[in-house]
Amino acid sequence: MTPRIAIDAMGGDDGVRVMIAGVALARHRHPGFTFLLVGDQVRIEAALEHHPGLRSASEIKHVDGVVKGDEKPTQAMRKAKSTSMGQAIDAVKTGAAGAAVSSGNTGALMAMSKIALRTIPGIDRPALAALLPTIEDNDLVMLDLGANTGADARNLVEFAVMGAAYSRILYGYDRPRVKLLNIGTEDLKGTEELRDAAAALGRAGHLPLEFLGFTEADKLSRAETDVVVSDGFSGNVALKAVEGAARFVTDLLRTAFSSSVRSKIGFLISRPATELLRHHLDPNNHNGAVFLGLNGIVVKSHGGADAKGVANAVAVAARLVEDSLIDRIGESLSDIAAVLPHNGRAA
């Protein structure tokens, strides 16, 4: 089945034009895709004038309201049905689309998706998963990144299963390597929740993943694992710390290179090398955070993503529809119950 993707055309820092340009790029790369473009009809039509190929593959659904970037989730939810974000999610719920993509307010997108789509039976809480660059070609799948502030052992085991399903679809691994984020690698390190989750995952040899214990946050880019699981607070801190440090180093580099004529010349000569670095670190190449654990696929594109970034997020969404992410998560759920004794909660 060629998936139809609902696009919240009004989200993102740079508005309708960038979203539509990104969707057009995705369509160009994957001619089978079709789209439901949700938002202000006049502005969408105007943006489509530059992309006639996309016009024929798209339906427009006019909605007046938008969710603002600084709006509180509770506020946004009250008017969900009248917003482009809410209607894009609703299209997934009704089956009018196989997945939704938005560059808007993350908290609002999460809250609306949770209410509209609900969690898969057997999953306690959804999680937000993102892709981090590594020293190898394939990205690291990292979750949870802030959908929840805490997580008990059961949540962590569910996150492991969902993250592994995502990694299997992205890279075709049979049994992705999974580690839990901790502040040390010895068995006794960290919180009780982490130790219980590690024990449960250690018993889960029959799950389609290979559990390799704990990892520390300085190893995220080392490609020593395919999935890193954490509670939402720690995951959010780790992800943002990585983003901030990468920006810090590249800023220092820019300052250093422009500090003298000599270094400027050196920079010009070695530009192909620094371009390679820029390409590797460009968040647009790792765009597309996914809400895992819901009865429907919702992909969060970075608010500052460019057209290429939006196209990557759309491709991720399409891939997850085609490869039946939700069924794949569901398949492992009965196996989770077996490693979580005591009424399904970890020992």
Binding residues (CB under 8 A) for its own copies: these are: 72, 133, 135, 146, 149-150, 181, 183, 186, 188, 190-191, 216-222, 230, 232-234, 236-253, 256-257, 259-260, 262-263, 265-274, 276-277, 280-281
Closer to its own copies by Cβ: residue 40 or 144: 144
Amino acid at 22: G
Spatial contact of 112 and 76, defined as CB atoms under 8 Å apart: yes
Q: What is the dihedral of CA 276, 277, 281, 287, to 10 degrees?
A: 0
Q: How far is the CB of 269 from its own copies (least distance, A)?
A: 3
Q: How far is the CB of 219 from its own copies (least distance, A)?
A: 6
Q: How far is the CB of 255 from its own copies (least distance, A)?
A: 8
Q: For 119, what's the count of Cα atoms within 13 Å in the CB-facing half-sphere?
A: 16
CA distance 100 to 84: 11
Q: How far is the CB of 284 from its own copies (least distance, A)?
A: 17
Closer to its own copies by Cβ: residue 180 or 311: 180
Q: How far is the CB of 242 from its own copies (least distance, A)?
A: 4
Closest to 85 measured CA to CA, from 62, 107, 108: 108
Edge-to-edge order in the sheet of strand 34-39? 58-62, 34-39, 4-8, 99-102, 297-300, 289-292, 127-132, 140-143, 227-229, 177-181, 210-215
Closer to its own copies by Cβ: residue 82 or 270: 270
Closer to its own copies by Cβ: residue 57 or 223: 223
Q: How far is the CB of 146 from its own copies (least distance, A)?
A: 5
Closer to its own copies by Cβ: residue 251 or 327: 251
Element (H, E) at 141: strand 140-143
CA distance 191 to 153: 10
Spatial contact of 193 and 158, defined as CB atoms under 8 Å apart: no
Closer to its own copies by Cβ: residue 147 or 164: 147
Closest to 2 measured CA to CA, from 99, 94, 77: 99
**Strand 289-292 with 297-300, pairing:** antiparallel
Closer to its own copies by Cβ: residue 253 or 338: 253
Spatial contact of 1 and 322, defined as CB atoms under 8 Å apart: yes
Closer to its own copies by Cβ: residue 2 or 255: 255
Q: How far is the CB of 334 from its own copies (least distance, A)?
A: 32
Q: How far is the CB of 257 from its own copies (least distance, A)?
A: 5
Spatial contact of 306 and 12, defined as CB atoms under 8 Å apart: no
Contacts of residue 49, Cβ cutoff 8 Å, sequence gap at least 6: none
